[in-house]
Structure 1
Amino acid sequence: MAQKVIELPAAATSSSDSKASAAVFFIPKSVITELYTSGISVGTANTATNPLDVIKVRLQLARNQAAVGTKPPGMVATGISVVRNEGVAALWSGLGPSLARGFFFGGARLGLYTPIKTVICGDNVRPSLEMKVLSGSLSGGLAAAVTSPIELIKTRLQAAGRDPTAAKTSMGVIRAVVSQDGVAGLWKGAMPGLIRSAILTAAQCATYDEVKRGVVATTGWGDGVSLHLTSSMIAGLVTTTITNPIDVIKTRMFVGGKSYSGPIACASHVLKTDGLIGFMKGWSASYARLGPHTVIMFLAAERLRKYAGLQSL
């Protein structure tokens, strides 16, 4: 088939036009690749750590469910109780929404980090820590705002336990929430979730980014598993500590529905009933989950990025 060839003036074939052409065709393709490689890596991490996520949710709600004067069980006791009373499969409750959330939410918050950082700082400028934090905050906040209903469904399924009145399917949760609070109820807890996601992504990605370069400068390691493992373990520790208070508020709002008028009211209730230590409720389970989750996520992401032809994080 004959092709119509349009000749352009020399000025139109300058390097500036080449850059514009690259911007039109390369950036969308790279962003899509960023999103699906990130989504797969987060989904893999979610599947492996779902049991720890269930235990974390149960721990954070234990104070509300325990009898007055009774000390809530710890992480191991909670896990044993779930298996004994509900079976091993209960540790994977909420896995469907978790995978959906991992692919869409996780893919967006991690996948948009590098493109946003590039837009803010440019290709040839080494980003400062502040710029990395800003990039992570924007990608995490945007992802959370869109996918908050999926997080609400996942959390309610994980918190349901053997409660006969609690919905046991995703559609059941949606119907129950809409019936009680209207469609807007699907975004109940969205604000603390958005704040947590912005802080989580900023802490996770910026810490990993900074630590990775610090480890390279200190040890001289090349871009490999040892470097990725060390950096992601430290990132997981920092991220868990920073986000746990917001995670406690988000979990209680997701499950409590209209029990709290907003994040501040929920935080006040936590402070009044449990003191400051209440904001660290479930920290051990959070780290037991988020630590390995961060490691698996970054190890998978780095490998997938290499196969996809993307630069290392």
Structure 2
Amino acid sequence: MAQKVIELPAAAAATTEKSSGSNAAILFIPKSVITELYTSGISVGTANTATNPLDVIKVRLQLARNQVAAGVKPPGMVATGISVVRNEGIPALWSGLGPSLARGFFFGGARLGLYTPIKTVICGEAAKPTLEMKVLSGSISGGLAAAVTSPIELIKTRLQAAGRDPTAAKTSMGVIRAVVAQDGISGLWKGAMPGLIRSAILTAAQCATYDEVKRGVVATTGWNDGVALHLTSSMIAGLVTTTITNPIDVIKTRMFVGGKTFSGPIECAKHVLRADGLAGFMKGWSASYARLGPHTVIMFLTAERLRKYAGLQSL
């Protein structure tokens, strides 16, 4: 199927040209890719808004091990949520929503929106992609998106972790100033490597699982492309994705908040292993699934609906 294109003549640049025989440069941007990006961005932004309270609780749970006395069991998901509301008020559950929306639109739009175009480039339009090709496509789109938007993720995480700490920055600009003052500009990319790895694995697991499960469900049940199919596939994708990405998420969160405490992800992972054992890498799994499960469902349901309205094929 031939892709539509938007033609953007570089007229402004042409005004500086003295040569009479030159033609205006033409930039071809595939319209389908632009549509993929903005529909995906809206889908992820919608899911981020709905699940932000669970994201805040997840971050607090992952950091709880460092905030309680030795030998004291950290509170669970429900107790953590109640504590946040009681001590900081209901608005605290939407801490970091601004960066979360920005990240959702740009990062989410890129990682989900580039999945199908990258898969098409790798496999070709006529070929039937294998599971390996789907995983590779998701890894590339997720990794590219995370590399660019890692500072936004760092800001969001620090705002969500701040709580009532009087020394912690409470605004995005405050976080940026604090990070730059302590670690320099490069500090904004602290934790970028585990974030990039997590994003690559997250997108690969989320998109490839959804893609594969959806076709398996259709083959087994004969369901038409509709809400029941999308809901079932996205619920399974959320479960698989949470389990695979939780260890990396724990490391990423601690590096985002810890600044120069850890020299890299390997040292951070060793610290988690020494302090909490292997179970430490699954810290906050229930909160992660409580957030990522509904997030995956909302994201894919919204994306499928928007794609239908935009004239794109189903995921």
Structure-2-length-normalised TM-score: 0.92
Which AA in structure 1 matches 2:150? S
Following the alignment from structure 1 to structure 2, what is the Cα–Cα distance between the partners of residues 117 and 24? Answer: 21
In structure 2, runs of 5+ residues without a counterpart are 8-27
1:199-278 maps to which residues of 2 (within 5 A)? 199-278=201-280
Which has the larger helix fraction? Answer: 1
Following the alignment from structure 1 to structure 2, what is the Cα–Cα distance between the partners of residues 257 and 123? Answer: 45
Match of 1:15 in 2: none
Following the alignment from structure 1 to structure 2, what is the Cα–Cα distance between the partners of residues 27 and 291? Answer: 34
Following the alignment from structure 1 to structure 2, what is the Cα–Cα distance between the partners of residues 97 and 67? Answer: 31
Match of 1:45 in 2: 47
Match of 2:64 in 1: 62
Following the alignment from structure 1 to structure 2, what is the Cα–Cα distance between the partners of residues 276 and 223? Answer: 40
* CA contact 2:4–2:32 (8 Å) conserved in 1: no
Which AA in structure 2 matches 1:211? V
- CA deviations on 1:132-156 (whole Å, 9 max, x unpaired) are 0000000000000000000000000
1:151 to 150, 153, 166: 153
Match of 2:20 in 1: none
- CA deviations on 1:91-143 (whole Å, 9 max, x unpaired) are 00000000000000000000000000000000000000000000000000000
Which AA in structure 1 matches 2:244? I
- CA deviations on 1:185-223 (whole Å, 9 max, x unpaired) are 000000000000000000000000000000000000000
What is the aligned residue count? 295
RMSD value, Cα: 1.3
1:60-139 maps to which residues of 2 (within 5 A)? 60-139=62-141
Following the alignment from structure 1 to structure 2, what is the Cα–Cα distance between the partners of residues 154 and 298? Answer: 23
Following the alignment from structure 1 to structure 2, what is the Cα–Cα distance between the partners of residues 285 and 298? Answer: 20
* CA contact 2:4–2:31 (8 Å) conserved in 1: no
Shift of residue 23, structure 1, vs aligned partner: 6.9
* CA contact 2:223–2:229 (8 Å) conserved in 1: yes
Shift of residue 22, structure 1, vs aligned partner: 5.4
Shift of residue 178, structure 1, vs aligned partner: 0.2
Shift of residue 69, structure 1, vs aligned partner: 1.0
Name the SS of the counterpart of 2:69 in structure 1: coil
Shift of residue 254, structure 1, vs aligned partner: 0.0
- CA deviations on 1:246-285 (whole Å, 9 max, x unpaired) are 0000000000000000000000000000000000000000
Shift of residue 238, structure 1, vs aligned partner: 0.1
Which AA in structure 1 matches 2:100? S
Name the SS of the counterpart of 1:298 in structure 2: helix
Following the alignment from structure 1 to structure 2, what is the Cα–Cα distance between the partners of residues 69 and 229? Answer: 41
Following the alignment from structure 1 to structure 2, what is the Cα–Cα distance between the partners of residues 139 and 223? Answer: 25
Which AA in structure 2 matches 1:260? F
Following the alignment from structure 1 to structure 2, what is the Cα–Cα distance between the partners of residues 128 and 93? Answer: 40
Which AA in structure 1 matches 2:219? A
* CA contact 2:246–2:282 (8 Å) conserved in 1: yes
- CA deviations on 1:56-77 (whole Å, 9 max, x unpaired) are 0000000000111110000000
Asked if residue 194 in structure 1 is aligned to residue 225 in structure 2, the reply is no
* CA contact 2:238–2:293 (8 Å) conserved in 1: yes
Name the SS of the counterpart of 2:65 in structure 1: helix
Structure-1-length-normalised TM-score: 0.93
Following the alignment from structure 2 to structure 1, what is the Cα–Cα distance between the partners of residues 150 and 313? Answer: 30
1:293 to 292, 295, 298: 295
Which AA in structure 2 matches 1:208? Y
Following the alignment from structure 1 to structure 2, what is the Cα–Cα distance between the partners of residues 24 and 308? Answer: 16
Which AA in structure 2 matches 1:161? G
Shift of residue 300, structure 1, vs aligned partner: 0.1
Following the alignment from structure 2 to structure 1, what is the Cα–Cα distance between the partners of residues 72 and 88? Answer: 22
Which AA in structure 1 matches 2:265? P
Match of 1:281 in 2: 283
* CA contact 2:6–2:31 (8 Å) conserved in 1: no
Shift of residue 24, structure 1, vs aligned partner: 7.8
Which AA in structure 1 matches 2:294? P
Which AA in structure 2 matches 1:183? I
Name the SS of the counterpart of 1:247 in structure 2: helix
